Structure formats: structure tokens, C-alpha cells
Structure 1
């Protein structure tokens, strides 16, 4: 299991290849990457993500351990960026390896739902009108309830 919270961009292809190549005993590897999307009005200049070093990594490790136990994962990877990101930037990556695809997909979705609604990150969106903190969305909370 690998948890990275970093400011620097990551190479999705290299990370996915490295993760998948180390799992000859697993029948499925699922990867997902989240991208900063522009606002419907097309005026997002940037998103700034803050976190508390140490606390964030521990929280992500705990949820990855839960996913590993619940779905019998052979491995998990979570990368999440912080700092200033622009539309189109990769913000996070999740990868799971499991003996069977259903477990790999469900564990990845569980991790993504957690990252979206419970991980200790604080996000501000900046437009020409200024900055605003990103509030939790009901749809994200509903997605988490299924687990």
C-alpha cells in the first residue's frame, strides 16, 4: 500500500504501469484519476487545496487499510495533490489490485467516494469574482452512504 500526498504533478501512465507490473498474483487492477474541471461558467482560474501534513496521510492510510481488508486487496495506491491546481490538472489517483475485478472496482469506488467527501482536504475555487470554499455536495454524501 502506498499513500502519497504531494504538491508536484504525477505521471499517471508511469504510476499505473509500476503499480500493475508488480501484481502477477492479482487478476484485476483498476485505476482512476481525478482531474480539476472547469466550472459550468468556464471561469475557474485555479483551485487551491490545503491539508494538514501527517494527519492527512494517516487518514488516507486508515481508509486504504479498510478497503484492503474489506475487499481482500493485494495492494492499493492513493495519490492526492495539494497546492494550486488549474483546470485540466490531475488532482488524484487511486489504484487497486485484487484477485477478481468486482473487488478491485468496488474498492476503488469506495476509496474515491471517501476522498471526495471525507478526506481531510480543504478546497477553494478562484474565479474572476474571487475565492470561495468548496462545500460538500449531497450527491457525494449519498455515494458514501452505500458503503
Structure 2
């Protein structure tokens, strides 16, 4: 009986200690790329897949302030590249490999039209920045 109490006490202490020492899961990285196209121009610009700094998806799995990331690309294309009237879209995921497949799909849609010129924006040229909260 005494041995059973000691074993149960040790087991209880082990369970309590392990519950407090469990590591918290670090948030997975969020990756994104952007595409800027115009209905009146044949140039379509797209970014490389980039890891977004200090970003967590919300409970619904959406990127918070995703419209601001699109505006960053739009402002860059209009201001720096001189490409006005762009419609910019951002694609995001926690899984880089899935996002790479999505990028290929998007580019293939544009490549079907032979008159469209695709321009890649390197990460040295343009990087998404976390919007101010």
C-alpha cells in the first residue's frame, strides 16, 4: 500500500512538472507572393515567394491586413516602376511548397496569352513589410 502511494505521488509529480515544462509551439512562418496586372497593359509583374516577418494568420486562416500588403505592391509598381492602374493580389500560405504550386498555376494562366509579358520582381527589388498596427 505504501509503495502504491509513493508510485502514484511520483506519477502525479511527473505529470504536473511535464505540463508546465511543455514547450510552446512557435508560430509557423507565413509565406506570400504578389501579382500586379492591368486590364489595359500587357505587363504583369509578380514577386518571389517571401517569408513575411512576424505575421500570424488569424483564427479563420486569413492574413491580417492583407489589403495593405496588396497596396504595398501597387504603390511600388506605380511609384518606382511607372506602371499605373495595377490590380494587385496577394497569395499567402503557411506551406511554401503549396504556395510554389499556386505561383506556377497563376503564371501558367498568364502564359496562355502570348501577348502578356511577365516580369519577376526580385526580393532585392521589392519586399513586403509588416504594416503598422
> Shorter-normalised TM-score: what interval?
0.3 to 0.5
Larger radius of gyration: 2
TM-score by length of 2: 0.34
TM-score by length of 1: 0.31
The structure with the greater share of residues assigned to strand is 1
